[in-house]
Amino acid sequence: MRQLALILLLVLAACSGDKAPVPAKAHAAATASTTVGGVTLQTSTVALADLNDAVATRYGIDRSTDGIMLLVTVRDAAGNGIDPGDLQLVVTASALPDPPTPLALRAIQTDGMTDYLGVVNAKAPATVTFKLIATRGGARSDIATTAELQPR
């Protein structure tokens, strides 16, 4: 599962051919996973400036703004797409020292797979914390992760 997240991060951060310097990056180590109600959730983060043009356009993200994207993938235990069913996700985020605030997630469906993404605007250097509460079929699981947005 960690390999899937790393591959996804590499795809998201792939070079678009644009040689302009980007202002910040997020450490790829900001990943976490949990299982709830038969689905596996994997969270990962990437700096907005590190998204390639195609991904940014598909997700409607402005790469020129400073911040971090939280990506939540929904898969079965083998890493295949699964219907999220009654999955509910509640996320808060904070660019420290600010207090946590709700983070809206958008569902993205591609080739039978469902992902959720949210964006936190923050200027580097920044420590951004995420707390996710997932419920499905009466089960609950929590994820807490931190991402460091570093100046280049």
Angstrom distances, CA of residue 17 to CA of 20, 21, 58, 63: 9, 11, 17, 14
Give per-residue pLDDT as tens, 60-101: 899 888 999 999 999 999 999 999 999 999 999 999 999 999
pLDDT over 90 at 119, yes or no: yes
Give per-residue pLDDT as tens, 129-149: 999 999 999 999 999 999 999
Parse the chain into domains and list their residue ranges.
30-149
Query: Which CATH number is correct for 30-149, 2.60.40.3340, 3.90.245.10, 3.30.70.660, 3.40.366.10?
Result: 2.60.40.3340
Which residues does 29 contact at the CB level (< 8 Å), separation at least 6? none
58 pLDDT band, cuts 50/70/90, is confident
**Residue 48 or residue 152, greater confidence:** 48
pTM (predicted TM-score): 0.80
Give the Cα separation of 126 and 150 in Å (integer): 7
